[in-house]
């Protein structure tokens, strides 16, 4: 079921979606809270009666918002996030708050306090994270649209692993007001759909200036879904050779290169781009330092005093210590230690500020190459979704991990629009490709994505369980 089909079904789409959610969630574990009483507020809206899932870090009035962390297990926001207000005004109907990595920190969706989220293509495999629950609900046909957030690749990697379209627009294109933050300079609101047309339509609804988010942009919101016409001869794709060169799975590499050759045969121009390899290997450590430093500052308010789960103590300090000790997993605590270390005054110059300088160099290098092409293109991941039991065993020091599994953070560093869509299958499991465009050139991004989708024919994929 895509957005167009859901609108034709009207109220029946919501009924069907809720039934599927209840039936499938025992296997998928993708839902934190099932929403039974939400109704269509605008039967004439662009998303009228479209069932939608929302990542559990979006504030939703009178509905729990836990970010899959024990410290927020009882938190009910007194207001809707701006993105939630917009989808309701467009007529969408929320049916679920979806699972995520705790506080959006992670890339596996294994750290949620409700347990692992399962990939519908193989329940023994991860969904990817941190927006894995939203990706799974779209991939399994429960909803045609789901909101997520992307700080490093948290929408685009799950999209690859689950065979759906994952869109992260430009920084500031969609308001972040009411979204529990991870890292403020890297966080983007985005979403999952089953095709590029729906992705373009969703942006029409979600984009726009919001005075409650001073980082949101005044850029005009276009009717993106009506601007998808293209000619292959007018498109230029910049292949990131650094990513392709380090792929160890020859089937993934051959699938990607075959499609690039077919694009060229259709008339598209292909340019091969090679970034400084040391710079590419620095992407992940740079991201890890900046993201966790910002997270440490952003989550200092999760203390068990102002809101959230509170644990007893004989003093205010003891209440905070006990609440944070029991409220955060060991995984989150480790990230806070890294963030705190880099923010210590004596470490700022050699750690945090150095990471910021590397980020600037990365952005300058990327923008230089993007000036020559319409989009940068590369496999979204060098592998299919890993098994849940093996997820923690990957070697994070290899070039393949540092480059092929982390290159999409480039779009977060520079605030660029980026989209992942299916490019094929290996052993029945989805493979994804990623496209990144110039800031606020969502039109160009969608055109290139539509051209790629038309080439593969891989759209509206659903794997029911």
Bridge-based pairing state of the strands 418-426 and 165-168: antiparallel
Pairing of strands 188-193, 165-168: antiparallel
Say how far apart CA 101 and CA 149 lie, in whole Å.
Answer: 11
Catalytic residue among 98, 130, 134, 216: 130
The verdict on whether 130 is a catalytic residue reads: yes
Pairwise CA distance, residues 412 & 254, whole Å: 28
Contact assessment for residue 149 and residue 189, using Cβ atoms and an 8 Å cutoff:
yes
Q: How far apart are CA 158 and CA 136, in angstroms?
A: 8
Catalytic entry in 46, 55, 157, 450: 55
Q: Is 55 an active-site residue?
A: yes
Q: Which of 69, 108, 127, 154 is catalytic?
A: 154
Active-site annotation holds for 217: no
Question: Which residues have a catalytic role annotated?
Answer: 55, 130, 154
């Amino acid at each position: 079921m895509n957005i167009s089909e859901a609108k034709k079904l009207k109220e029946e789409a919501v009924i069907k979606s809720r039934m599927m959610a209840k039936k499938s969630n025992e296997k998928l574990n993708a839902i934190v809270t099932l929403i039974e009483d939400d109704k269509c507020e605008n039967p004439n809206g662009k998303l009228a009666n479209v069932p939608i899932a929302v990542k559990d870090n979006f504030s939703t009035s009178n509905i729990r918002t836990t970010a899959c962390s024990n410290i927020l297990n009882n938190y009910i926001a007194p207001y809707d996030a701006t993105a939630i207000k917009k989808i309701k005004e467009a007529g969408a109907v929320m049916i679920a708050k979806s699972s995520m990595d705790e506080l959006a920190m992670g890339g596996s969706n294994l750290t949620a306090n409700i347990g692992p989220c399962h990939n519908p293509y193989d329940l023994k495999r991860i969904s990817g994270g941190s927006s894995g629950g939203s990706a799974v609900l779209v991939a399994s046909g429960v909803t045609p649209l789901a909101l997520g957030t992307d700080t490093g690749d948290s929408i685009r990697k799950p999209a690859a692993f689950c065979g759906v379209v994952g869109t992260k627009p430009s920084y500031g294109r969609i308001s972040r007001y009411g979204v529990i933050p991870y890292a403020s300079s890297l966080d983007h609101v985005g979403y999952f759909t089953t095709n590029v047309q729906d992705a373009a339509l969703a942006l029409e609804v979600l984009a726009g200036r919001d005075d409650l988010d001073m980082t949101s942009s005044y850029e005009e919101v276009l009717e993106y879904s009506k601007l998808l016409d293209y000619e292959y001869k007018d498109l230029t794709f910049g292949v990131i050779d650094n990513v392709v060169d380090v792929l160890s799975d020859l089937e993934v590499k051959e699938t990607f290169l075959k499609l690039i050759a077919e694009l060229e045969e259709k008339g598209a121009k292909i340019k091969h781009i090679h970034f400084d390899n040391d710079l590419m290997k620095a992407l992940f450590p740079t991201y890890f330092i900046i993201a966790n430093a910002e997270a440490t500052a952003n989550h200092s308010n999760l203390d068990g005093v102002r809101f959230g789960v509170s644990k007893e103590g004989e003093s205010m300090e003891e209440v905070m210590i006990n609440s944070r000790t029991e409220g955060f997993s060991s995984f989150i605590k480790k990230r806070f230690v890294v963030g705190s270390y880099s923010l210590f005054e004596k470490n700022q110059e050699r750690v945090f500020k150095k990471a910021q300088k590397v980020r600037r160099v990365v952005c300058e290098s990327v923008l230089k190459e993007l000036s020559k092409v319409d989009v940068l293109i590369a496999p979204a991941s060098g592998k299919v979704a890993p098994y849940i039991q093996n997820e923690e065993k990957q070697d994070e020091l290899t070039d393949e991990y540092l480059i092929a599994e982390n290159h999409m953070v480039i779009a977060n560093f520079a605030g660029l629009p980026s989209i992942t869509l299916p490019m094929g299958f290996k052993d029945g499991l989805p493979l994804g490709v990623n496209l990144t465009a110039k800031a606020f050139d969502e039109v160009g991004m969608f055109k290139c994505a539509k051209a790629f989708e038309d080439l593969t024919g891989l759209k509206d994929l659903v794997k029911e369980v």
